Amino acid sequence: MKKCQLVLFTLLGVILVSCQTDSEKADHFRLENKFAEAAELYKKAAAEGDAYAKWRLFEAYSNGDGVDYEERTSLELLKQAAAEGCEEAKCDLAFAYMFDWYDIGKDEDKGKSMLEELVKKTDKAYIQSRYAALLFSGGGPYEENKEKAQFVFENIKDKNNPEYLYQMGNVYLKGSDNIDINIEKAIDYFSKGFERGRRYGAYLIQSLYASGYGDLKSDKKKRIEWLNRGIHSNETNCMVDMAGIYLSEDSTLQDIHNPQKGIELYKKAARHGNGKAYFALGNIYNDGEFVSKDDNKAFDYWKKAAALKDHFGAANLGYAYINGIGCAKDVKKGIEVWKQAVEYGSGYAANNLFRCYSSGEYGEKDKALAKKYLIKAAELNDAWGCLNLGTQYYLGNYLMEKSYGQAFVYVKKAADMGLIDACNVLAYFYENGIGCDKNPQKAKEYKDRTVVKD
> Which string of DSSP letters, residue by residue, matches 126-159?
HHHHHHHHHHHHT-TTPPP-HHHHHHHHHT-S-T
Domain count, the chain: 3
Q: What is the mean pLDDT of residues 190-202?
A: 98
Q: What span, in angstroms and rounded, lies between the C-alpha atoms of 329 and 94? A: 41
Which of 147, 150, 149, 190 lies closest to 169 in space, CA to CA?
A: 190
Burial of 399 (0-12, 13-18, 19+ CB in 10 A): buried
Of the two residues 364 and 179, the one the predictor is more confident about is: 179
Which sign does the torsion angle of CA 99, 105, 108, 114 carry? negative
Inform me whether the pLDDT recorded for 18 exceeds 90. Answer: no
Question: Which of 42-46, 117-121, 177-181, 408-412 shows the lowest mean pLDDT across its residues?
Answer: 177-181
**Domain annotation covers residue 248:** no
Q: How far is CA 223 from CA 178, 203, 206, 230, in A?
A: 30, 9, 4, 11
Confidence of residue 19 (pLDDT cuts 50, 70, 90): low
pLDDT value at 364 more than 90: no
| Residues 409 and 359 grouped into a single domain | no
Residue 368: predicted pLDDT: 96
Could you tell me if 320 and 354 lie in one domain?
yes
- In terms of domains, do 370 and 438 share one? no
Whether residues 40 and 86 share a domain: the answer is: yes
What is the average per-residue pLDDT within 44-66? 98
Q: pLDDT: is 81 or 11 the higher one?
A: 81
Kindly report the backbone phi and psi dihedral angles of residue 53, in degrees, each rounded to the nearest multiple of 5, phi listed first. Answer: -65, -35
Residue 140 in domain: no
pLDDT surpassing 70 at residue 1: no
Has residue 143 been placed in a domain?
A: no
Residue 130, domain member (yes or no): no
pLDDT band at 435 (very low <50, low <70, confident <90, very high): very high
User: Among 122, 155, 179, where does a domain finish?
Assistant: 122
**Pairwise pLDDT comparison (48 vs 452), residue with the higher score:** 48
Give 127's contacts (C-beta < 8 A, 6+ positions apart).
87, 88, 91, 115, 118, 119
Provide the residue range defining the domain that includes 90.
19-122
Cα 13 to Cα 323: distance, rounded to the nearest angstrom: 65
Question: Which 8-state DSSP code applies to residue 218?
Answer: P
Position with higher pLDDT, 195 vs 215: 195
Specify which residues 213 forms β-bridges with: 216
Among the candidates 349, 380, 411, a domain finishes at 380
Report the pLDDT value the prediction gives residue 255, as an integer from 0 to 100: 81
Q: Is there a single domain that holds both residue 375 and residue 292? A: yes
Question: Which of helix, strand or coil describes residue 221?
Answer: helix
Task: Tell me the pLDDT band of 5, cut-offs 50, 70 and 90.
Answer: low
pLDDT above 90: residue 409? yes
Mean pLDDT value across residues 340-351? 98
pLDDT of residue 451: 85
Angle, alpha carbons 38-39-40 (nearest 5°): 95
What average pLDDT score do residues 123-144 get?
Answer: 97
Whether residue 125 contacts residue 114, with contact meaning beta carbons closer than 8 Å, is answered with: no
Crossing angle for the helix pair 71-83 and 51-63, to the nearest 10 degrees: 160
Residue 255 lies in a domain: no
Same domain? For 357 and 440 the reply is: no
Task: State the DSSP H helix or E strand holding residue 426, giving kind and residue range, or none if neither.
Answer: helix 420-432
Is 90 exceeded by the pLDDT of residue 91?
Answer: yes
Whether 311 is covered by a domain: the verdict is yes
Inform me whether the pLDDT recorded for 3 exceeds 70: no
Average pLDDT over residues 89-96: 98
Higher pLDDT, 451 or 142: 142
Taking only the tens place, the pLDDT of each residue in 282-326 is 999 999 989 999 999 999 999 999 999 999 999 999 999 999 999
Residue 399 and residue 376 share a domain: no
- CA nearest to 263, candidates 252, 248, 250: 248
Torsion angle of the four alpha carbons 49, 51, 53, 57, in this order, in degrees rounded to the nearest 10:
110
pLDDT of residue 9: 46
The model's pTM is 0.91
Predicted local distance difference test score (pLDDT) of residue 74 = 97
Rg of the chain over Cα atoms, rounded to whole angstroms, equals 26
- For 176, counting Cβ atoms within 10 Å of its Cβ (0-12 exposed, 13-18 middle, 19+ buried), the class is middle
* Alpha-carbon gap, residue 341 to 193, rounded angstroms: 33
Q: In whole angstroms, give the CA distance from residue 131 to residue 123.
A: 11
Domain final residue, candidates 321, 345, 380: 380
Is residue 167 domain-resident?
Answer: no
Residue 100 and residue 74 share a domain? yes
User: Are residues 31 and 94 located together in one domain of the fold?
Assistant: yes
Q: For residue 96, what is the domain's CATH number?
A: 1.25.40.10
On whether both 24 and 98 belong to a single domain, the answer is yes
Q: Is residue 214 part of a domain?
A: no
User: Is the pLDDT confidence value at 428 over 90?
Assistant: yes
Q: Are residues 27 and 113 in the same domain?
A: yes
- Mean of the per-residue pLDDT values for the chain? 94
Q: Do 414 and 371 belong to one domain? A: no
**What is the structure's pLDDT at 66?**
97
> Is 344 in contact with 323 (CB distance < 8 Å)?
no
pLDDT value of residue 362: 85
pLDDT at 14: 44
Band (pLDDT 50/70/90 cuts) for residue 2 is very low
Sorting pLDDT into bands at 50, 70 and 90, what band is 11?
Answer: very low
Angle subtended at Cα 225 by Cα 221 and Cα 228, rounded to the nearest 5 degrees = 140
Q: Is the pLDDT of residue 208 over 90?
A: yes
Burial (Cβ within 10 Å: 0-12, 13-18, ≥19) of residue 260: exposed
User: Which pLDDT value is given to residue 301?
Assistant: 98
